[in-house]
């Protein structure tokens, strides 16, 4: 017996992924299990059966019927969340470090989505059932600006804008060492690490990924940089900076110098989504927002300057 099909909307971050990889990640099953579901006709893309090797595109709707699966119900939870901008169509939040964006296998509650559902008059819609309104994601350890749509049309428009690279996102990061040049463009494909499937990496055959880097301040053994992801892959900035031999300070997955993070008082990656710019889907007005560094990163940067 199968539960009602779950609907997943392909975000700009997921665009280009193989169908079996996308279904596995979204449905919380292995890639092999996803392939079996696709072969059994339990996965429909835009209402049609597709090959497991087909590539998903931003805005596509993928329906997955999981056998014997109980439908998960999202619960509203009283979790504080700072709203930077809000109107009838969308809102922009300043996500704190440590807050997971949406429920997932092994983390069913206590997320940003649960927090937003508790806000009267701000029940987000659009996207798939477990990620209502979420246009793009931030890693749990990353703080900063995120867009959330309140209706299907806004979600669809923003997803397309993100895929078209019309949403500008700028991050601040403190990295290990000093880059050789003040500006650089890292153009390297990203995919699952063949040695550790829980990690991403620069791999042959990965999805095209581009990040622009500008050095803002050079310090004795670190540098404050501005990172602008042109594409939007999972862990993109962290992976690209690590591949350039300048990983984000405090990154326990891709970093190298844990003693440095400890010396600076960091218990999470020094990565913050500081600026966001996009055209409002309904009004056409340009929305430009900034989010200052949170106190823990301010303190870490001050410590880095005095080393």
Catalytically active residues are 139
Contact call for residues 103 and 96 (beta carbons, < 8 A): no
The DSSP call for residue 199 is: S
> What letters, b where the CB count within 10 A reaches 16 and e where it falls short, cover 35-50?
bebbeeebbbbeeeeb
Spatial neighbors of 97 by CB under 8 A, at least 6 apart, are 140, 141, 142, 143, 268, 294, 296
Contact call for residues 233 and 168 (beta carbons, < 8 A): no
Report CA 243 to chain centroid distance, whole Å: 19
Q: Kindly give the pairing relationship between strand 271-279 and strand 286-290.
A: antiparallel
Spatial neighbors of 266 by CB under 8 A, at least 6 apart, are 249, 250, 296, 300
């Amino acid at each position: 017996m199968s539960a009602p099909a779950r609907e997943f909307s392909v975000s700009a971050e997921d665009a280009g992924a193989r169908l079996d990889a996308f279904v596995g990640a979204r449905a919380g099953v292995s890639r092999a299990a996803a392939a079996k579901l696709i072969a059994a006709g339990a996965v429909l893309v835009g209402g049609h059966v597709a090959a497991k090797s087909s590539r998903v595109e931003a805005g596509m709707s993928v329906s997955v019927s999981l056998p014997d699966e109980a439908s998960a119900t999202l619960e509203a939870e009283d979790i504080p969340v700072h709203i930077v901008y809000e109107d009838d169509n969308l809102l922009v939040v300043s996500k704190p470090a440590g807050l997971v964006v949406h429920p997932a296998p092994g983390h069913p509650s206590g997320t940003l989505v649960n927090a937003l559902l508790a806000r009267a008059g701000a029940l987000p819609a659009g996207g798939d059932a477990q990620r209502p309104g979420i246009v793009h994601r931030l890693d749990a350890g990353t703080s900063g600006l995120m867009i959330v749509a309140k209706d299907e049309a806004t979600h669809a428009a923003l997803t397309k804008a993100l895929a078209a690279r019309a949403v500008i996102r700028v991050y601040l990061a403190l990295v290990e060492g000093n880059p050789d040049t003040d500006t650089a463009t890292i153009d390297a494909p990203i995919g699952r690490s063949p040695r550790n499937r829980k990690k991403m990496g620069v791999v042959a055959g990965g999805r095209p990924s581009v990040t622009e880097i500008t050095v803002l301040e050079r310090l004795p053994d670190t540098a404050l940089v501005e990172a602008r992801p042109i594409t939007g892959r999972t862990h993109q900035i962290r992976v690209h900076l690590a591949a350039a031999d300048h990983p984000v300070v405090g990154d326990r997955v891709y970093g190298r110098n844990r003693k440095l993070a400890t010396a600076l008082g960091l218990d999470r990656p020094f990565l913050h989504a500081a600026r966001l710019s996009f055209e409002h889907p309904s009004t056409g007005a340009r929305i430009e927002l900034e989010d200052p560094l949170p106190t823990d990163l301010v303190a870490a940067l001050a410590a880095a300057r005095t080393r």
